[in-house]
Structure 1
């Protein structure tokens, strides 16, 4: 009995227990916040990367010429546009109001859609249609957690994305350039889980040293 009183009365024991409880509360807070923030239907849309294809010293660039299938592209850039379903449910064709597509303007002439990719092998990316400086997506299924990206060749020095997304009961947010299928919430959870694991191991080791 005296040993038990000494064990539970130790300041080190309660310090270790407090750290463990704090880690558990932190992990629960992150998980709850993430679930509340992604409740219902939500899509993030944005530009992840812009790559200029012609980089040359001043006075030299005017002498260079890039063509795409015979067409001269004066200020060629590749724009990577991404759509990410961050909600807890699929976005279906029925969520597109009046079957109207998502319209994305890039502020430059669209030359061609070069490549597309999807995080879901069971739901390949919907082909984009183009009209001068506008890209059109859908109506199409975007599965929960699916991440879709398109590499688009454009002609223009300045890129600025505009979005007209006629989606019903779907939250629409801007996708930041640093975002990817592995969100910051995912990384935060990993850090907390690792901290929780270390805390438990440390507590077990301390308990073992007291026996």
Structure 2
């Protein structure tokens, strides 16, 4: 292995590897789909008292009594390499069933980062709808609702987005871990360094001789990148198997 990494053949080989990986990375980022996660992290009963007391309490909203009032919060979280645009919406809105009658939307939807534009949210029966809008990558949309139902649960009703995976979450999707970030950075540096080194070595072959710093650094970056990528994959699989 060490003989190959210090061989003069590493210059042309690194050029081929760099070009192939550059093509793969470009393909991945143009084809990789964005994810839109949806969930209901907050479900709070408003009459959480003993049955004896509950029978003597009446909660009225606009003169209408509520049997099982809850304050819930629905969240949409975007993750991926690009924004979700209005053109990605295959219908006028994406809809979700909250498993209880929606009485009202509490305030305006909250977005993070705050520079993003809050979408328009409507409701009918058990359904809330988020109308066409721009959802930037890594944006979080939070909608507070007053509902009436014994067991609110969030399900997707009609959420068709082009080139976007729409998936539920039970807990907030974790941000990219430090090992995955490091692997991406080292991978980009390794590809760029080896491609540049191979190009330079083509015109100045004497700097790509056996044991030259160009060859050693390029080989070390490639090995480091593969090692970090493998470590990140192992850690991710391990954490996924740990019960929460």
After TM superposition, the score normalised by the length of structure 1 is: 0.65
Whether the aligned pair in 2 keeps the contact of 1:77 and 1:154 (CA below 8 Å) is yes
Distance in 2 of aligned mates of 1:77 and 1:62? 17
**1:105 is the counterpart of 2:97:** yes
**1:168 is the counterpart of 2:162:** yes
1:153 is displaced (CA, Å) by: 0.5
Distance in 1 of aligned mates of 2:44 and 2:84? 30
**1:189 is the counterpart of 2:178:** yes
Counterpart of 1:114? 106
1:174 is displaced (CA, Å) by: 0.8
Distance in 2 of aligned mates of 1:78 and 1:69? 16
- SS of alignment partner, residue 60 of structure 1: helix
Residue by residue over 1:126-151, the C-alpha shift from the partner in whole angstroms, topping out at 9 and shown as x without a partner, is 12111111001121110111000111
CA RMSD of aligned residues (A): 2.5
Q: Flag the 1:150–1:96 CA change in 2: closer, same or farther, 3 A.
A: same
Paired residues in the alignment total: 153
1:55 is displaced (CA, Å) by: 1.1
After TM superposition, the score normalised by the length of structure 2 is: 0.57
1:65 is displaced (CA, Å) by: 1.3
1:173 is displaced (CA, Å) by: 1.2
Q: Which aligned segments of 4 or more residues in structure 1 are displaced greater than 4 angstroms?
A: none
Distance in 2 of aligned mates of 1:101 and 1:49? 23
Name the structure where helix makes up a greater proportion of residues.
2
1:120 is displaced (CA, Å) by: 2.4
What is the correspondence of 1:75-86 to structure 2 with a 5 Å cutoff?
Answer: 75-86=68-79
Distance in 2 of aligned mates of 1:114 and 1:138? 17
**1:42 is the counterpart of 2:35:** yes
Distance in 2 of aligned mates of 1:123 and 1:63? 45
1:111 is displaced (CA, Å) by: 0.1
- SS of alignment partner, residue 80 of structure 1: strand
Distance in 1 of aligned mates of 2:39 and 2:57? 30
1:51 is displaced (CA, Å) by: 0.5
Structure 1 residue corresponding to 2:46, chosen from 47, 53, 59: 53
Higher-RCO chain (CA-CA 8 Å, sequence separation at least 6): 1
What is the correspondence of 1:3-152 to structure 2 with a 5 Å cutoff?
Answer: 39-97=32-90, 99-115=91-107, 116-152=109-145
Q: Which runs of 5+ in 1 are unaligned?
A: 1-31, 194-211
